[in-house]
Amino acid sequence: MTVNFKEPEGLEIVRKLVKTSDVLVENFISGKLASMGLGWEDCKKLNERLVYASITGIFYFFCASYGRLTSFGTNC
């Protein structure tokens, strides 16, 4: 499934999913979902039983070809 978070309709779809989900796993840069109104505190208000897991980048580095990148370890 793909949802466009930049559109209000996309955010509403995600909020509806949060209301009926058991677990949300995200791997955005720290604070990104909160800036869109989908951080832990926001989601907890929609579903107090939700398990919210954040997989954040290990570190940032700069690559001349691509700019600033985030590095992730193995997600198991």
CATH number at residue 64: 3.40.50.10540
Smallest Cα–Cα separation from 34: which of 21, 49, 52?
Answer: 52
Q: H or E stretch including 10?
A: helix 8-20
In a domain, 3, yes or no: no
Task: State mean pLDDT over 8-23.
Answer: 96
Length of the chain: 76
Using one digit for the tens of pLDDT, what is the confidence trace for 36-62? 999 999 999 999 999 999 886 655 555
pLDDT of residue 62: 54
Q: In angstroms, how far is CA 56 from the centroid of its own chain?
A: 10
Regarding pTM above 0.75, the answer is no
- Total tally of structural domains belonging to the chain: 1
pLDDT at 10 over 70: yes
pLDDT of residue 72: 59
CA 43 – CA 61 distance, rounded (Å): 30
